[in-house]
Amino acid sequence: MKQTPHNQREATRHKFEHQVWLECAGCGHRVLFTHPLKACEKCGGQWLDASYDYDSVREQWPAVLSERPFDMWRYRELLPLRDDTNKVTMGEGGTPLLHATNLGLMLGAPHIYFKDERQGPTGSFKDRQAALAISVMKEHDMTEAVVASTGNVAISYSAYSALAGIKMWTFLTSLVPPEKMREVALYGSEVIKVTASYDQTKKVAADFAERKGIFLDRGIRSIAAREAMKTVAFEMAEQLPMLIGDGDTLWRAPDWYIQATSGGMGPVGVWKAYEEMVRLGLVDKMPKLACIQVAGCAPMVHSFNKGLDEAEPVLNPQTLVITIATGSPGPAYTFLSRVIREHGGAFEAVTDEEVFRAMHVMAKLDGVSMETAAATAFAGLFKLLNKGIIKRDEVVVVNCSGHTFPVEKHLLGDEWARTVDVPKREDAVEEGLLGSLEQLDGRVQSIVIIEDNPQATLLLRRILQTRGEYRIFEAHDGIAGLELVRRERPDLILLDLMMPGMDGFEVLDALKADENLSDVPVIVITAKELTIAERQRLSGRIDKLMQKGSFTDEELLTEILKRAA
């Protein structure tokens, strides 16, 4: 345990670092992306776009690309992560682009392809978003975050944040199917089930983040999330020529990109990617976007048909396809409706029944089973072909966006979610939200970890974060630890013994000599075999001695709960 991982890390420190700018869509103001911004510093506009050094990318691509594996990180010159050492990855992206052969025969449309996003680590294209968003959180030293979700974002963010050691607070509308909620809980996230629509759930999550001072993932306004979705398009563009038998071309845009659309992250990101590809001279045209929604929650379709620039929200979604039931798509609609008005494309609605039929068709014809959200895109394809909006000889890529895992029902106890009730009456909502949030506050305990090994610290933090609301502070040596304890007056101290400089024994001496601190419980966690003399030195002065490697997470938690309750 006592090597110097910091030095090791320095030594293997990489290769890739670059600069990223944030550019305001409203006024064009440009700043270096060094920390997350909520709005433009000049005009207050909330739509900021990442921007890169395109001239150097034009020079480097495709030579560097030919040497990289086929995953989403191969496009990293156009992703907003500055330093590769912060990458949190599980093999996301690089999904196959498949030819829907039998479907094509049946429909008389020979160029239908689908991007098989079911093959991501958690089974949906949100894995791209999570991989990049969590990496960027890590790059900005965040240890906790709040996210609101209709299911798949929470699942994916939870998996990646488990890997990164970031605590995730997930706010899910209670309409989210239980199998999705169970998966979120399985990864160790806090699950807060809000008995309200998704849009109200987003509001509860935002209020919670604000009050607790925790970073909030801002959905369509999140730079990392949107930028990640570009990689679907880059990959498609590289995969298409071969499938079509277009040997000489390296990159190619399809005629159509079709996606089930909820918050609009996918199509917005895909559009930006094609704009960048045109700018880099990689493709010579833009695809048309088809955004498909379910009839019971189709704010984009209705607003577009009425010629509106801003989406009219659907307050009470009526659909079984909860994963895409965003009633209030906000700026994504404004963006997409402009694109589709100017460049062609379509907004289309399909009924739940049509969705289930499409699900059957795809499974039976081409052996592809998918969740209802993904089937929505296929139902939309059928409809647009029937209407003649999509021509049968056009090249179409459908995003087969996801499939839910069957998470074992009996695996978890029954306390993996907390419920927040939001009152139904419109005018009572404000008051109700605040009241609801109080329920979550509980009694927050603070814990100081004094440990010089960053890996061990991360693991302890992780164990604590899977259970309850601890405020966790870390110090990496004895002196800093003592200062931290004096400042924070924690409810509990986790103390390592072997540290350079002031070791754990000396920290303990200092704590016990200070009358303000001598009562704070101390759990000693050590990898060291203790001598009799050392045991005597600890005896009566600590609350528990735990040997690294010989305790389970559960035992440590039990000890902590006993002491910090």
Ligand X SMILES: *Cc1c(COP(=O)(O)O)cnc(C)c1O
Residues that bind Zn ion (CB under 5 A): 24, 26-27, 29, 40, 42-43, 45
Report residue 412 as tokens: 């978890």
Other C-beta atoms closer than 10 Å to the C-beta of 318 total 11
User: Which of 402, 432, 481, 490 is the binder for ligand X (CB under 6 A)?
Assistant: 402
Q: Alpha carbon 493 to chain centroid distance?
A: 31
User: Which of 109, 168, 191, 374 is the binder for ligand X (CB under 6 A)?
Assistant: 374
Nearer to ligand X, 276 or 474 (CB): 276
Which of the choices Zn ion, ligand X, none does residue 124 contact, using the CB cut-off of 5 to 8 A by kind? ligand X
Nearer to ligand X, 270 or 475 (CB): 270
Report which secondary-structure segment, H or E, holds 182. helix 178-186
List binders of ligand X among 296-325 (CB under 6 A). 323-324
Q: Is 74 in the site for ligand X (CB under 6 A)?
A: no
d(CA 173, CA 185): 14
> In whole angstroms, how close is the CB of 541 to ligand X at the nearest point?
53
Which of the choices Zn ion, ligand X, none does residue 126 contact, using the CB cut-off of 5 to 8 A by kind? ligand X
Which of the choices Zn ion, ligand X, none does residue 106 contact, using the CB cut-off of 5 to 8 A by kind? none
> In whole angstroms, how close is the CB of 140 to Zn ion at the nearest point?
21
Sign of the Cα torsion 52, 54, 60, 66 reads: positive
Tell me the pairing of strands 470-475 and 445-450: parallel
Q: Is 161 in the site for ligand X (CB under 6 A)?
A: no
User: Which of 264, 478, 481, 490 is the binder for ligand X (CB under 6 A)?
Assistant: 264
Distance from the first to the final alpha carbon of the chain: 30
The stretch near ligand X (CB under 6 A) out of 54-62, 138-146, 264-272, 544-552 is: 264-272
Buried b (16+ CB within 10 A) or exposed e, 370-401: bbbbbbbbbbbbbbbbeeeebeeeebbbbbbb
Report which secondary-structure segment, H or E, holds 379. helix 372-386
Which of the choices Zn ion, ligand X, none does residue 29 contact, using the CB cut-off of 5 to 8 A by kind? Zn ion
Q: Is 126 in the site for ligand X (CB under 6 A)?
A: yes
d(CA 160, CA 130): 6
d(CA 14, CA 17): 8
SS3 label, residue 351: coil
Which of the choices ligand X, Zn ion, none does residue 260 contact, using the CB cut-off of 5 to 8 A by kind? ligand X
User: Which of 373, 385, 464, 495 is the binder for ligand X (CB under 6 A)?
Assistant: 373
Q: Is 266 in the site for ligand X (CB under 6 A)?
A: yes
> In whole angstroms, how close is the CB of 228 to ligand X at the nearest point?
11
Total of chain residues touching ligand X, rule CB under 6 A: 19
- The 3-class secondary structure across 231-272, one letter per residue, is HHHHHHHHHHHHHHCCCCCCCCCCCEEEEECCCCHHHHHHHH
> Are 303 and 326 spatial neighbours (Cβ–Cβ below 8 Å)?
no
The stretch near ligand X (CB under 6 A) out of 86-94, 271-279, 369-377, 446-454 is: 369-377
> In whole angstroms, how close is the CB of 197 to ligand X at the nearest point?
16
Which of the choices ligand X, Zn ion, none does residue 374 contact, using the CB cut-off of 5 to 8 A by kind? ligand X
Kindly give the residue spans of alpha helices, DSSP state H, lying in 467-513: 478-488, 504-513
Which of the choices ligand X, Zn ion, none does residue 138 contact, using the CB cut-off of 5 to 8 A by kind? none
Which of the choices ligand X, Zn ion, none does residue 40 contact, using the CB cut-off of 5 to 8 A by kind? Zn ion
The stretch near ligand X (CB under 6 A) out of 138-146, 278-286, 366-374, 470-478 is: 366-374
d(CA 80, CA 110): 37
Which of the choices ligand X, Zn ion, none does residue 311 contact, using the CB cut-off of 5 to 8 A by kind? none
Which of the choices ligand X, Zn ion, none does residue 24 contact, using the CB cut-off of 5 to 8 A by kind? Zn ion
544 class by beta-carbon count within 10 Å (0-12 exposed, 13-18 middle, 19+ buried): middle
Nearer to ligand X, 153 or 508 (CB): 153
d(CA 87, CA 123): 20
> In whole angstroms, how close is the CB of 371 to ligand X at the nearest point?
6
d(CA 71, CA 93): 5
Nearer to ligand X, 325 or 493 (CB): 325
- Which of 144, 104, 97 has the alpha carbon at shortest distance from 125? 97
d(CA 542, CA 300): 61
x-or-dash string of contact with ligand X, 539-558, rule CB under 6 A: --------------------
User: Which of 89, 152, 453, 526 is the binder for ligand X (CB under 6 A)?
Assistant: 152
Nearer to Zn ion, 24 or 359 (CB): 24
d(CA 378, CA 355): 8
Which of the choices ligand X, Zn ion, none does residue 262 contact, using the CB cut-off of 5 to 8 A by kind? ligand X
User: Which of 36, 263, 287, 490 is the binder for ligand X (CB under 6 A)?
Assistant: 263
> In whole angstroms, how close is the CB of 377 to ligand X at the nearest point?
7
Q: Is 262 in the site for ligand X (CB under 6 A)?
A: yes
Which of the choices ligand X, Zn ion, none does residue 188 contact, using the CB cut-off of 5 to 8 A by kind? none
Q: How many CA atoms lie within 13 A of 336 on its CB side?
A: 34
The stretch near ligand X (CB under 6 A) out of 182-190, 253-261, 360-368, 420-428 is: 253-261
Question: What is the DSSP code string of 332-348?
Answer: HHHHHHHHHHHH-EEEE
Task: Give the interface with ligand X as residue ranges (CB under 6 A).
Answer: 124, 126, 152, 259-267, 323-324, 371, 373-374, 401-402
